[in-house]
Amino acid sequence: MQTAKLDAPDLVDAEAWTWPLSGAEFADGHWTKVPFFEPGAPARLAPILKIFDRWTADEILTAHDGKAIVSFPTPDGDLMTAVVPPLQALKFYGGGMTACATNHARVRDLARDVMTALGAHPARVESNIYLSSRGCRTPLHFDCSESVVLQVQGRKTWRVAPNESIAAPVRNSGITGDIPFEVRRDLRAPLPRDVPASAITYELEPGGILYVPRGFWHATESDGDSVSLHFHYQTLTWLDVILPAIRARLECDPKWREAARAVGPRTHGASTLNGEVATLLANLSKAAREMPAEDAFEFPGDSPLAPTRYRRNPMAALWANGASEDDGVAACSVQARSSFLDFTAHLELDAPSRALAYWMASRDVCETVAASDVARQFGVSEGDARDVLEVLAAARLVRAART
């Protein structure tokens, strides 16, 4: 079987997927806002259609390293899904069910590159290939992801409507069955009983592209044997961005790492407990006010060209992998984590540089130090101190402090 990935440069050009709009026009007018529909994709997407023409259901469902999922209609009109072995998925599809291959190796990179070009974060992109028989339906539901659909074979009807019941959902949901707690909690109006009257119908044929924003209601029906390629971006929210940075900052303080011993079914002394919580909340408020924005974001190239002060990165850790006996040089590693990256740097540091690195890693998160302070602390020249600090900044152990 042919296993080449779909990585032709034209296929990852955002404007090949948003034509006739430019990438900027799509971002300004549609991304995270309103649907986009193009019934006839530009010729640049033809290579995908041709590959799927040669790609059988057997190859799609069984020759990949992702999951295979099948969908079953329930008596109350809902849809139940189950992860099954690939060969079983093929049998279910042959029996008239909808089957899905998730994160297939041949489209995984394409999904990441296309969605990143449209505005997604690459670490949160997934892909699905749906195979449906005539009459297969997906009941009304919404997803907490941005979705781009390319119809590659057959025809499928979509009905899409704005969501008046909930804004910016954090969980997927239908209108029947088990409604997630987070959806019930955040409802601002009752869920509809059927497809809203405001729904727009889109007929997708091979080459047709549909973008469905997060939270929009949609229902589908296959008008024949259908194959469609779906790219999903699990939307990064402000909670996803800021809370990990706040938590990392607080975890640098041993007080926040203490056991909450007074909290539980046998809690006594509510006034004492309230006082302790009030103190922690005040500390939390102070930490939030003082946290620089770059603790939550990575801004490539946005640091001062010649920083005068440095500070500890609370979202990074340093450890030594061992030292040689002759010259004291040690292999050290720095790992930095955030909503945007999981980065590891490997360094070779001599004993004085290693001591400087550990000293910087132990600073209070609010403390900033100048290269001259470090030079005095370790009895080295300011130039040598700055050289080491720049190495540590490149490894993301320290950050340039904004003054």
Identify whether the C-beta of residue 184 lies closer than 8 Å to the C-beta of residue 237: no
Domain 9-236 annotated CATH 2.60.120.650: yes
- Residues linked to residue 99 through DSSP beta bridges, in sequence order: 70, 131
pLDDT for residue 395 is more than 90 = yes
Identify whether the C-beta of residue 159 lies closer than 8 Å to the C-beta of residue 63: no
Tens of pLDDT, residues 78-137: 778 899 988 889 999 998 899 999 999 889 999 999 999 999 988 899 999 999 999 999
Could you give the CA distance from residue 208 to residue 49 in angstroms, rounded to a whole number? 11
Q: In what order do the strands lie in the sheet with 173-174?
A: 173-174, 137-142, 217-222, 156-161, 200-204
- Residues linked to residue 72 through DSSP beta bridges, in sequence order: 80
Which helix (H) or strand (E) segment holds residue 139: the answer is: strand 137-142
Residue 174 — pLDDT band, cuts 50, 70, 90?
Answer: very high
pLDDT of 333 reads: 94
Could you give the CA distance from residue 41 to residue 171 in angstroms, rounded to a whole number? 31
What's the whole-model pTM score? Answer: 0.83
Question: Domain map of the chain by residue range?
Answer: 9-236, 309-400
